[in-house]
């Protein structure tokens, strides 16, 4: 029964609020000392992905997938990179299409179910990096959904390099997450996401005139509005609901064949009730679910001497344990 009944995370004083947990790291956390080596790879459909490497010469590698409108420079990614480098792992933080500072080439961009791009990254690692004999996956929010869906789609046929995964703040049910984000309490977050996504649309308009337009964008008020107008038609879905149904990771959890830890805070303001796959974890010997009482969305703030957040310590411990276990 891999349902973690007692989480070790305890919020610092004055940090029990889900909004403080969510906003504080984004505004005030700085992670120094990470120097990336950037590599660009070409995807099978002729687009590109920018990969940022932080290497120690290790035989183990962590591949990190950021969240919605994130990138490899976000503090939650840099903190995780630093934590794994300290533990003797190389780290690869890949930027989803259009998230590395340059618009991608095709009308499509990234979405919560785009596991083909994570597959391209894993395949590239296998091809060019023979020293890496164990690969762990870490995903945040949208990137966590991609990570879990990727593992479930492949099941027992998953690349044998992969030893396990950790996913934080995962909207395992995208419809439930979209409904939660549409609540009035989340208006400030939703407005920010829609503003950033508008920038992606405008960049594509410049790159490919006449192929995409932002006319009437001011009428988009929810993720359903955005996904109906852009995500679904650009990526082969019939509607927002069809996209949410097909891309949600919860339906893929039963097929996961490597140890996977999901950490969703009970007070995450972005997650609806169906984003906590309690029944699935109880039935699955390798899918672990941990629900700290606090943590917000990709928060889990800690004040330690080394500057490491609890989520980074937790991921490091879990993947060290599963990578050392016989397979």
Tokens of 179: 């409904």
Q: Which residues contact 204 (CB under 8 A, 6 or more apart)?
A: 98, 103, 107, 109, 211, 212
The residue to which tokens 């990614």 are assigned: 77
For every residue of 217-245, DSSP letters joined together read GGG--SHHHHIIIIIHHHTT-SSHHHHHH
Sign (positive or negative) of CA dihedral 201, 232, 189, 150 = negative
210 burial class (0-12, 13-18, 19+ CB within 10 angstroms)? exposed
The CA distances from residue 240 to 150, 199, 260, 271, 288, in Å, are 20, 20, 28, 17, 29
Tokens of 159: 């690349």
Burial 227-258 (b: 16+ CB within 10 A, else e): bbbbbbbbbebeebbebbebbbbbbbbebbeb
Catalytic residue among 7, 54, 141, 323: 141
Tokens of 202: 């405008």
Is 311 an active-site residue? no
What letter would DSSP give residue 57? S
273 burial class (0-12, 13-18, 19+ CB within 10 angstroms)? exposed
Catalytic residue among 132, 235, 284, 297: 297
Catalytic residue among 173, 268, 302, 323: 268
Burial 32-45 (b: 16+ CB within 10 A, else e): eebebeeeebebee
What is the rounded distance in angstroms from the CA atom of residue 215 to the CA atom of residue 232? 17
Q: Would strands 48-54 and 134-140 be described as parallel, antiparallel, or unpaired? A: unpaired
Is 141 an active-site residue? yes
For every residue of 88-123, DSSP letters joined together read T-EEEEEEPTT-SSS--SSS----TT-HHHHHHHHH
As annotated, the active-site residues are 141, 268, 297
């Amino acid at each position: 029964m891999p349902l973690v009944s007692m989480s070790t995370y305890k919020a610092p004083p004055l940090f029990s609020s889900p909004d403080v947990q969510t906003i504080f790291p984004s505004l005030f956390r700085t992670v120094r000392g990470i120097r990336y080596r950037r590599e660009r790879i070409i995807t099978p459909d002729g687009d590109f992905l920018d990969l940022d490497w932080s290497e120690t010469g290790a035989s183990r590698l962590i591949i990190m997938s950021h969240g919605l409108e994130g990138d490899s420079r976000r503090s939650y990614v840099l903190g995780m990179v630093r934590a794994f480098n300290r533990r003797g792992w190389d780290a690869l933080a890949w930027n989803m299409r259009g998230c590395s500072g340059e618009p991608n080439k095709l009308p499509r961009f990234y979405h919560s179910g785009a596991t083909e791009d994570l597959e391209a990254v894993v395949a590239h690692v296998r091809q060019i990096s023979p020293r890496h004999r164990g690969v762990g996956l870490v995903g945040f929010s949208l990137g966590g959904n991609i990570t879990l869906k990727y593992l479930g789609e492949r099941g027992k046929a998953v690349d044998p390099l992969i030893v396990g995964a950790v996913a934080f703040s995962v909207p395992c049910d995208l419809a439930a997450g979209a409904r939660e984000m549409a609540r009035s309490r989340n208006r400030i977050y939703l407005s920010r996401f829609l503003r950033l996504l508008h920038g992606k649309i405008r960049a594509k308009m410049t790159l490919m005139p006449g192929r995409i337009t932002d006319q009437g964008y001011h009428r988009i008020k929810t993720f359903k509005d955005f996904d109906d107008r852009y995500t679904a038609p650009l990526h082969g879905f019939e509607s927002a609901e069809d996209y949410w149904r097909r891309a949600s990771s919860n339906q893929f959890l039963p097929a996961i064949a490597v140890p996977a830890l999901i950490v969703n805070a009970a007070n995450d303001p972005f997650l609806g009730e169906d984003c906590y796959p309690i029944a699935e974890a109880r039935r699955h010997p390798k899918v672990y679910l941990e629900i700290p009482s606090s943590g917000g969305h990709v928060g889990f703030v800690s004040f330690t001497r080394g500057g490491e957040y609890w989520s980074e310590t937790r991921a490091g411990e879990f993947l060290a344990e599963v990578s050392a276990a016989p397979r």
